[in-house]
Amino acid sequence: MLRRVAADRQNGHVAERVRIREIDDDEGRRLLRIIRRGTGSVVTWRRAQMVLLSAQGMPVTKIAEVTFTSADRVRDVIHNFNTDGFDSLYPKYKGG
């Protein structure tokens, strides 16, 4: 992966910046409720925080820094939210 990114940069290609899709006021309020309430899953809370920070224009690397996770994980959360909406914020535990 890192080699591909380095090769792309040498060839003049820059990785596309990952951003959250535009969210409306209702979605913004819903994200804030999840974050402020602080009840329920920590996983949901962290994912909602990442999505809201992205919606506010914070770059992925900074979101990763303030949420103590990797930039790749932040990109995954953003991509999943863009694809599946709020359903992506809730963990899908599988029995094992």
What pLDDT, in 10s, does the model give residues 37-71?
A: 988 899 999 999 999 999 999 999 999 999 999 99
| pLDDT at residue 29 greater than cutoff 60 | yes
pTM, full prediction: 0.79
Name the percent of the chain lying above pLDDT 70. 81
Phi then psi dihedrals of residue 28, to 5 deg: -60, -45
Q: According to the model, what pLDDT value does residue 79 have? A: 98
Q: According to the model, what pLDDT value does residue 52 have? A: 97
Q: Which helix (H) or strand (E) holds 84?
A: helix 71-84
| pLDDT at residue 12 greater than cutoff 60 | no
| pLDDT at residue 95 greater than cutoff 70 | no
Cα(59)–Cα(42) distance, rounded to whole angstroms? 22
Distances from the Cα of 51 to the Cα of 3, 10, 39, 46, 78, angstroms: 28, 31, 18, 9, 6
**More confident of the two residues 67 and 18:** 67
